[in-house]
Structure 1
Amino acid sequence: MKKIVVKVCINCKTCKMEILKTVSKLEGIDEISVDAEKGTLTVVGEVDPVLIVKQLRKIKKGASIDSVGPKKPPEKKPEPLKVCDLPPCCKSCQLVAVPVYDDYGYGRCSIL
């Protein structure tokens, strides 16, 4: 089993969920964790690191392999989990609302 750390841009909760959903589809993964403050994705298992980066680039997330190595045994004293306050959505994830007018001049909102 190996531990793969990938640097990836995580701006909001939507980005984080998209990253987790995309990477979790790969086979051979035992654990996945995301650290939004450091901008890292950690994957433990028998999966090719290049496949992880390819999957992330498919969803337009710039990613690069930071390290690949054997999984270390768990530490005796785990640190308390920090709660990172991410915004619900970032500029790259937001939908754009465009007013659409019908033949009578009435406008309505259309989300693209």
Structure 2
Amino acid sequence: MVQEIKIKVNMHSEKCRKGVMKAVTKLSGVDQVTVDLPKEMLVVIGDVDPVCVATCLRKKRWVAQIVSVGPKKEKEKDENKLFPMMYCNAPYDYGYGYGYYPVYRSIE
């Protein structure tokens, strides 16, 4: 079962953040890892035991506390959103180079 695990880890620098990510991504069953350095929060999404994640971090000498464990929250998709994309397919060329024109595509 895919679940979302939030763990508070004492991290002080970018080096700590990289070390935490490296330690957690080696575990089997991890799909996604997100680290928020200012909040000192680690979010792990996947089919992995939360105790194994905390134990792995503690073995690497980081203080880890499990904050919450729950099902993965799906984000709602808004099909009406458009974002601009720039194309270089030069529909016209006047000898001055290529023309760029914006095309709006929906997020799929």
TM normalised by structure 2 equals: 0.68
5+ residue gaps in structure 2?
79-108
Segments of 4+ in structure 1 off by > 2 A?
none
Within 1, Cα distance between the matches of 2:23 and 2:69?
20
| Aligned-pair identity (%) | 43
Please tell me whether residue 2 in structure 1 is matched to residue 3 in structure 2. Answer: yes
5+ residue gaps in structure 1?
78-112
Structure 1 match to 2:30: 29
SS in 2 for 1:17: helix
**What is the CA distance between 1:75 and its match in structure 2?**
4.7
Within 1, Cα distance between the matches of 2:57 and 2:30?
15
Within 2, Cα distance between the matches of 1:16 and 1:75?
29
Deviations 1:26-51 (A, max 9, x none): 00011000001111100000000000
Please tell me whether residue 68 in structure 1 is matched to residue 69 in structure 2. Answer: yes
In the comparison of the two structures, how many residue pairs are matched? 77
Alignment of 1:33-72 (within 5 A): 33-72=34-73
**What is the CA distance between 1:10 and its match in structure 2?**
1.0
The higher relative CO (CA closer than 8 Å, separation ≥ 6) is in 1
Within 1, Cα distance between the matches of 2:28 and 2:76?
27
TM normalised by structure 1 equals: 0.66
